[in-house]
């Protein structure tokens, strides 16, 4: 696959700047989930997907946007995406169908768990919200004290 890391980075930098430097941390949150849960989705795919997602947002609120990204990835069945820079062409989320199926299963869990976290947060049950985010991040989310 042709790629240009410099152009991709520049594109993310522009989007990040428009959203008060909250896009790069959002990408890191999504990639952390991928890493901690051993989800076989391409890192480049996730970075590009989050950049495309963020382009249409007016602001970033991590708990809302992380849950929204998980939900969109699942509800659209991990779609192939076009490189917004037009360099890499179509970007596939996974190498093969087994990886795709595993990733979709992990996304189902992430959607359910992040929904539980958001519900707890909206009901002012912050300790419960931390519990659910900790489950999303495979016991590696900061503890609630």
Two tokens, residue 83: 């490189």
pLDDT per residue over 89-115, tens digit each? 899 999 999 999 999 999 999 999 999
**Element of type H or E holding 34:** helix 23-36
Domain annotation covers residue 65 = yes
Domain annotation covers residue 122 = yes
Beta bridge partners of 82: 90
Domain annotation covers residue 102 = yes
pLDDT of 141 > 80? The answer is yes
Domain annotation covers residue 48 = yes
Please state the domain count of the chain. 1
Containing domain of residue 128, as a range?
A: 5-136
Contact 19, 62 (CB under 8 A): no
Domain annotation covers residue 73 = yes
Please tell me whether the overall predicted TM-score, pTM, comes out greater than 0.85 for this model. Answer: yes
pLDDT per residue over 38-80, tens digit each? 999 999 999 999 999 999 999 999 999 999 999 999 999 999 9
- The pLDDT of residue 5: 63
Domain annotation covers residue 145 = no
- Residue 6's pLDDT band, with cuts at 50, 70 and 90, is low
């Amino acid at each position: 696959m042709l790629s240009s890391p410099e152009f991709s980075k520049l594109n993310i930098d522009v989007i990040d700047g428009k959203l008060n430097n909250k896009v790069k941390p959002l990408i890191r949150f999504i990639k952390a989930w991928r890493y901690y849960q051993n989800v076989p989705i391409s890192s480049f795919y996730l970075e590009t997907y989050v950049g495309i997602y963020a382009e249409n947002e007016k602001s970033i609120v991590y708990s809302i946007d992380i849950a929204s990204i998980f939900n969109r990835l699942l509800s659209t069945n991990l779609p192939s995406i076009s490189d917004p820079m037009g360099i890499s062409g179509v970007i596939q989320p996974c190498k093969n169908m087994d990886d795709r199926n595993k990733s979709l299963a992990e996304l189902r869990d992430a959607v359910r768990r992040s929904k539980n976290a958001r519900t707890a947060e909206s009901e002012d049950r912050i300790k419960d919200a931390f519990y659910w985010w900790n489950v999303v991040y495979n016991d590696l989310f900061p503890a609630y004290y």
